[in-house]
Structure 1
Amino acid sequence: MSDEGTGRRGARGLAVDLGVLAVGVFSWLFIAGERLNAQMPSPPWLFDLDMITGLLALPLLWFRRRWPTQTAVALVVVSTYAETVAFPLLVMLFSVVVRRPLRTAVWVYAGSLAAAGVYLVVRPDELGVAGGIGFALSLHAAVAGWGLFVRYRRQLEARAAQAEQDERERARQRARDELARELHDMLGHRLSLLSLHAGGMEYRPDAPAAELTRAAGVVREQSQLAMRDLREIIAILRAPIGELPQPTMADLRALVEEARPGMRIELAGQVEGDVPERSGRTAYRIVQEALTNARKHAENAPVQITVDGRPDEGLTVTVVNGPGNDTGPGSGHGLIGLEERAALAGGRLEYGPASDGGWRVHAWLPWTA
């Protein structure tokens, strides 16, 4: 909370405290005046004790937030003989209901009602014991009802604030998850290409010079592209992801051509019409991850990519690779991320072993996403 907000709340609290104290002083003067104009209590010294007790009770109003229970109990005790503490006592009873457990409030209220009964015996009222108890019950019920209303309203406000805080945290978590997926998809693809061609240069040092030169060129190109992707990731950290350029369906063929050196890839299928942006981006990421996994877990295996789509049927993406050499362990996070991507786009994704021992990834995406 800002200093300005704290200052406003402090000024408001001070104004409320001064207002409560002013009402307390007025209540003390009013009761004193009524007693001077009416029958004085007997013995006469009880009037003086009542006035002094009422004056001493007024400063306790400043402690109603910090020590409401303790001050309420003290006022309950003196209310057995002093009527000038009526207003401070009601304020403390209200504070106990608002700020303390309800069980505590019940005990304090019960003590206050018992003290009211003692007061009616010590200082009989024109209403009589029954009338006085009825009036005390009504007054206590009104204060308790108001206190419960304020208490539950504050609880609702606190829950709403907590729900808002939780939603902000979920939004931050979604942003972190999205960033993690972007890191995995963008850099995983580049680094797998680097690993493939660098591995070929390492294990085939006797390859023709032209082939080694071409592999070195791919390594250099993919290193530069990886650096570009890193700069984009840094931009993601500084700006919302939605403000950055994202791949579309039109970029799919370029992705396949980029991965073709060192892989046997066949792209087939027919897409009619313009693919919606979200579905096209999801399809691109699915193919990208499938190619990364094929390079890592099925080196030298053929890869068949089939993309079909039309407005009335949706978009289907199928990537199947044959069995090959597994060149590295997998965490499985990429496929889990693809499932999340497909679900967020309103589609579904399936993956698993193919009949020939390879691997198959199949996704359906809605045309309206």
Structure 2
Amino acid sequence: MAFVLGVTTVAGHFQPAKHPLDPLAYAWLAGAALPLLVTRRFPLPVFVVVAGLTWGYYLSGYPGGPVVVLPTIALFILTRLRGPVVAGFVGVGGLLAGFAAYLATGGHVVLDARAALFVVWLTAVVGIGTAVRNRVEAVRAARERAAERQDRLAELERLRIAREVHDVVAHSLAMINVQAGVAAHVADRRPEQAVEALRAIKEASAAALADLRATVAVLRTGQGLGPAPSLRQLDELLEHTRTAGLEVRVQGSPGELPAPVDGAAYRILQESLTNVVRHANQATIVKVYFGRNGGTLELVVRDNGRGASQPSPGHGLRGMGERAAALGGRLTAAPVEGGFEVRAELPVKGANG
């Protein structure tokens, strides 16, 4: 507003034919500028008011000046907030209304450079406002996509950590629970067997604590230096299951596997054996099968528990399914004749990442 008032005052000294600026003229200019303070809340009404006051000032006979800056600002903000279509229609309407008022006051329309200047002005302001609007929307969309990506990565990391902690804790606690039951049952009659069970509990708890410490260390440091599960630890995993009183039969060999497939297969096998120990009814034998079908590793874990039924999905089954799906494979877990079976198919080719 100060710019418009100052420059118009100076310009008035070079326009002696015009009415000199008086308090009414200054009030008029101030009245045309003040609505811009609320233009972001009411962009369309503000433009209509500012444009009308500007046209009225130019038709009043007062000295000309940069009053056109005021509707320019209003039209620019209107374009940013409401879009080029609304701004274009309102701008054209403002020009036509101004020309109509000019004709009504006895003026004559002359199609010269001055008339073309109004059209160029309108096009330029709407065009620039549209470009800024599109740029702002593009930046906002990019930020939203980046935020959504961060949220997805955080969710995936949270699920990964939850699976790791569940697999470590569930397997170890299942073994400890079984061995504790054995120790309590035979403590009076066969103390040597109770001592053996307590030793197994000590080993299982020590392994679980070590894995949990490593996992917590990864969370604290943010570095991927945690335990890397692998089927190279297969013998140790099967021994834990045998100490729970189950006979484990292994057929086939997994062979060399990419690290992601190796780790997923180990965790799926670990969770399957844990479920046998915890949930199978009077199971005595667990059969583990490894096979290759083209570029796919087949892992089958089957027990001979009685009365197996379709399980309700829990953290363990859900975690196994997520591990298989993450590699582009699939997993099924369902009762079969004479027991319960978990079957995983994990693509090996292209899983080196």
TM-score with structure 1 length normalisation?
A: 0.78
Q: 1:147 to 1:182 in 2, by over 3 A?
A: same
Residues in 2 aligned to 1:226 and 1:30: alpha-carbon distance in whole angstroms: 85
Residues in 2 aligned to 1:26 and 1:160: alpha-carbon distance in whole angstroms: 42
Task: Find out whether 1:171 has 2:171 as its counterpart.
Answer: no
1:302-333, Cα deviation, whole Å (9 max, x unpaired):
101122349x644221111111598xx96533
CA RMSD of aligned residues (A): 3.5
Task: Find out whether 1:81 has 2:64 as its counterpart.
Answer: no
1:15 matched residue in structure 2: none
CA contact (8 A) 1:117 1:133 kept: no
Correspondence list, 1:208-223, <5 A: 208-223=190-205
Q: 2:215 is matched by which residue type in structure 1? A: I
Correspondence list, 1:1-369, <5 A: 28=8, 32=12, 36=15, 40=18, 44=19, 53-54=28-29, 57=32, 68-69=43-44, 71-83=46-58, 84=65, 85-100=67-82, 105=87, 108-109=90-91, 112-121=94-103, 128=110, 135-240=117-222, 242-262=224-244, 263-272=246-255, 274-298=256-280, 299-309=282-292, 313-324=295-306, 331-369=313-351
CA contact (8 A) 1:300 1:325 kept: no
2:62 matched residue in structure 1: none
Q: 1:66 to 1:360 in 2, by over 3 A?
A: closer
Residues in 2 aligned to 1:239 and 1:105: alpha-carbon distance in whole angstroms: 54
TM-aligned CA deviation for residue 338 of structure 1? 1.2
Q: 2:56 is matched by which residue type in structure 1? A: Y
1:80-116, Cα deviation, whole Å (9 max, x unpaired):
3223421111111101111346786467536523542
CA contact (8 A) 1:316 1:362 kept: yes
CA contact (8 A) 1:79 1:116 kept: no
Residues in 2 aligned to 1:195 and 1:103: alpha-carbon distance in whole angstroms: 71
Q: 2:28 is matched by which residue type in structure 1? A: T
Q: 1:151 to 1:21 in 2, by over 3 A?
A: farther
TM-aligned CA deviation for residue 225 of structure 1? 2.3
CA contact (8 A) 2:218 2:226 kept: yes
TM-aligned CA deviation for residue 75 of structure 1? 1.4
1:225-273, Cα deviation, whole Å (9 max, x unpaired):
222232223223224473323112212222112332022112221344x
Q: Secondary structure at the match of 1:358?
A: strand
Residues in 2 aligned to 1:260 and 1:223: alpha-carbon distance in whole angstroms: 16
Residues in 1 aligned to 2:319 and 2:106: alpha-carbon distance in whole angstroms: 79
Unaligned runs of 5+ in 2: 59-64
Q: 2:248 is matched by which residue type in structure 1? A: I
Moved more, 102-111 or 83-92: 102-111
TM-aligned CA deviation for residue 126 of structure 1? 7.0
TM-aligned CA deviation for residue 158 of structure 1? 0.7
Unaligned runs of 5+ in 1: 1-19
Q: 1:306 is matched by which residue type in structure 2? A: Y
Q: 1:325 to 1:189 in 2, by over 3 A?
A: farther
Q: 1:156 to 1:285 in 2, by over 3 A?
A: same
1:17 matched residue in structure 2: none
Q: 1:229 to 1:243 in 2, by over 3 A?
A: closer
Residues in 1 aligned to 2:141 and 2:195: alpha-carbon distance in whole angstroms: 65
- Identity of aligned pairs, percent? 26
Q: 1:297 is matched by which residue type in structure 2? A: H
TM-score with structure 2 length normalisation?
A: 0.81
Between the two proteins, the alignment pairs up a number of residues equal to 340
Q: 1:304 to 1:207 in 2, by over 3 A?
A: farther
Q: 1:229 to 1:170 in 2, by over 3 A?
A: same
CA contact (8 A) 1:249 1:275 kept: no
CA contact (8 A) 1:318 1:362 kept: yes
